[in-house]
Structure 1
Amino acid sequence: MDTITLIRSAIRGLLKVADRPLRDLLASVMTSGDDYMSSAKPQLDWDDQEARTKLIDSRAKDAHACLMALEGQKLCEVVSEAARLLGTVVGQDLEQDGDGVFRIVRKVAKDRVISVVDPEARHGHKTSSHSFDGYKGHIALDPESEIITKTVVTAGNAGDASVAEELIEDLLTSNEDQAHRGPTAQQGCVYGDGAYGTGQFQARLRTAHIDSKCKTQPPSAKQGLFTKDSFTINLEAGTVRCPNKIEAKIHYLGGGDGVAKFDPHCQSCSLAQRCTTSKIGRKIRIGAHEAALTKARTEQMDATWKDDYRATRPKVERKFAHLMRRKHGGRRARMRGLLRVGNDFSLLAGAANLARLAKLNVQSIPHGGWEVAPA
């Protein structure tokens, strides 16, 4: 929804849940003359910038007037929720200039509400050029049986790695229990693409004694300059050595992050043009999980690691293709709200699992349990 539609819809939602006295109070403080009970957009020349500015300003002031009128009122939960939604949508896209006129800001709020009928939905990006509105489904898959072991649904703007631990919580718990029983405990293994190869998740897998086959993206640098992996990072000594063999000390900041600055040496360095365009010299930032990232990048250079990853990872993409066969319920949610969409996605995964079990010819046995029937 665009900003005007969001504001008008939020005001209409508030008026619908308000009782008659409160609705009359809200109507008395709004001055734009808009019929908010109608879902039709106001009629005006949308190419007229001045008319659009007046429209935005008047509807924003109506929204703020409603919120001011509710101050100090004893409200039921439904009205309070509608008021909170109105406050959110009117505050996320607008700013007031020096003349007191509300205008649309030229930036996007970090967690922008995109719909008043489904306030938990968000705008997301599959790639830089492929965007979508709504929710994002995540799955964990057993690569041998190709059975889905866990589903999670998040808002569309959530990163894949944000739910990585939740997807494998059974494996994390199992491996931690085994680790307490001795160093010979069997390791699990987790595969994931570059979205899951964050430092935090890689470190979590190491702590849980799980073999990581999650791909970590290599460091990048602009304009073909030396990348971070061209520098030798010694975390034990707390130093970083540049390609010209100059060492800089790591200065640690809060949260375990740090930075190594080479500015005293860059001015006279023969490799400066290949290293930095900054007038104050090159800086190398050290993350709190730098050791885990370095280890992951080193491991994934191994040919055996690459072969294993390439043989296993496509199974997940194929399973997503199975889930997306039906547009309604797969690629497009049939419900509204995070909880309902999540439950529906779990049902979809369950149906896919039943189809997979049938494909494997799995059947129950008399005294309990399951087995693959002979061909």
Structure 2
Amino acid sequence: MGAGRVEDTFNLVGHALKKVLRVVADQQERDLVEVAKEAKVELICESSLKAALDRDWDQQIQKDEALGMVLNVLQAVETWVQTLQQEDAQLAQRSLSVAQQIQAQDVEVNEQGKASLIKGMAKNRRISVEDPEMRHSRKSRSVRVDGYKRHVLHDLDTGLIRAVGITPANSPEASVTEAISADLAQQAASLEELHIDRAYLSSHLVRERGDDLEIYCKARPIPNGKRFHKQAFTLD
């Protein structure tokens, strides 16, 4: 899998903490395992923290125990970083901040001090250690999108792709059209017709369009249960 892979909470924290150890090991020209032993977090050296924990993830009790262990490892690394020389600590802090961010977005602690994973998905949740802009989104209840959305402006007359935009997966489609318009302006190109998905109807291209721009968009279906809908009738 790529460096920007999507991981769950356990492996996100483990990945970020391994980066903390790695940057210090490289700075001090030491082996990763040696540094992990010094920090008393040898568990981090495994390829997958979740696999190293070796729990039955279908059992909530074991899952909670594993979360407690991960948070203890995080605390141990935080304490260890405080013992480093200033330069090394500053280098380590960037990756440590990622682990702390994941804890803040994914973990809650009740009044009794028991930690658990937050149910549902935090707004704007970070899903990758290496790529901070990647996000979760959904096309439907059953189809999830991880990473980014690609937006393509295709010239129907020439077949050319005039502009391409990239946004985090959870960004509204309409948010990309300002950048698309800027690309068109660089080409001294203008729109006469715009064939779009309904998700772009709130974009500035539609809201601020002139009289010379025609918009084509598939209309929303009109649900009416078992009764006749308006489109079933014609006026005479």
* TM, length-normalised to structure 1: 0.47
- Alignment match, 2:209: 205
Residue number among 40, 48, 51 corresponding to 2:62 in the alignment: 51
Instruction: Give 1:109 shift.
Output: 1.4
Query: Relative to structure 1, is the Cα distance of residues 126 and 82 closer, same or farther in structure 2, using a 3 angstrom cutoff?
Result: same
Query: 3-state DSSP class of the match of 1:18?
Result: helix
CA distance in 1, matches of 2:170, 2:88: 32
Query: 3-state DSSP class of the match of 1:146?
Result: coil
Query: 3-state DSSP class of the match of 2:92?
Result: helix
- Alignment match, 1:189: 193
Structure 1 unaligned segments of length 5 or more: list them.
176-185, 224-375
- Alignment match, 2:20: 14
Query: Relative to structure 1, is the Cα distance of residues 220 and 3 closer, same or farther in structure 2, using a 3 angstrom cutoff?
Result: farther
Moved over 6 A (4+): 21-26, 216-223
Instruction: Give 1:219 shift.
Output: 11
Query: Relative to structure 1, is the Cα distance of residues 79 and 205 closer, same or farther in structure 2, using a 3 angstrom cutoff?
Result: farther
- Once the two structures are superposed, what CA deviation does each residue of 1:68-107 show, in whole Å capped at 9, x if it has no partner? 5546944577534312321222222101112222210102
1:108 counterpart letter in structure 2: M
1:18 counterpart letter in structure 2: V
Query: 3-state DSSP class of the match of 1:145?
Result: coil
CA distance in 1, matches of 2:160, 2:138: 27
Equivalences for residues 212-227 of structure 1 within 5 A: 212-213=214-215, 215=217
1:203 counterpart letter in structure 2: R
Equivalences for residues 1-375 of structure 1 within 5 A: 1-19=7-25, 20=28, 35-40=43-48, 41=51, 42-67=53-78, 69-70=80-81, 73-75=86-88, 79-171=92-184, 188-198=192-202, 200-206=204-210, 211-213=213-215, 215=217
1:198 counterpart letter in structure 2: S
Query: 3-state DSSP class of the match of 1:139?
Result: strand
Report 1 or 2 for greater relative contact order, CA contacts < 8 Å, sequence distance ≥ 6. 2
CA contact (8 A) 2:193 2:213 kept: yes
Instruction: Give 1:160 shift.
Output: 1.6
Query: Relative to structure 1, is the Cα distance of residues 140 and 28 closer, same or farther in structure 2, using a 3 angstrom cutoff?
Result: same
CA contact (8 A) 1:135 1:154 kept: yes
Query: Relative to structure 1, is the Cα distance of residues 103 and 212 closer, same or farther in structure 2, using a 3 angstrom cutoff?
Result: farther
Query: Relative to structure 1, is the Cα distance of residues 158 and 28 closer, same or farther in structure 2, using a 3 angstrom cutoff?
Result: same
2:66 counterpart letter in structure 1: L
CA contact (8 A) 1:29 1:62 kept: no
Query: Relative to structure 1, is the Cα distance of residues 68 and 138 closer, same or farther in structure 2, using a 3 angstrom cutoff?
Result: farther
CA contact (8 A) 1:142 1:149 kept: yes
Instruction: Give 1:163 shift.
Output: 0.4
CA contact (8 A) 1:25 1:69 kept: no
Query: 3-state DSSP class of the match of 1:205?
Result: coil
Query: 3-state DSSP class of the match of 2:45?
Result: coil
CA contact (8 A) 1:7 1:86 kept: yes
Structure 2 unaligned segments of length 5 or more: list them.
1-6, 226-236
Query: 3-state DSSP class of the match of 2:43?
Result: coil
CA contact (8 A) 1:63 1:90 kept: no
* TM, length-normalised to structure 2: 0.70
> Root-mean-square deviation (CA), in Å?
3.9
Which one has a bigger Cα radius of gyration? 1
Query: Relative to structure 1, is the Cα distance of residues 49 and 151 closer, same or farther in structure 2, using a 3 angstrom cutoff?
Result: same
Q: Percent identity?
A: 23
Aligned length: 211
- Once the two structures are superposed, what CA deviation does each residue of 1:281-327 show, in whole Å capped at 9, x if it has no partner? xxxxxxxxxxxxxxxxxxxxxxxxxxxxxxxxxxxxxxxxxxxxxxx
CA distance in 1, matches of 2:117, 2:107: 5
CA distance in 2, matches of 1:205, 1:216: 18
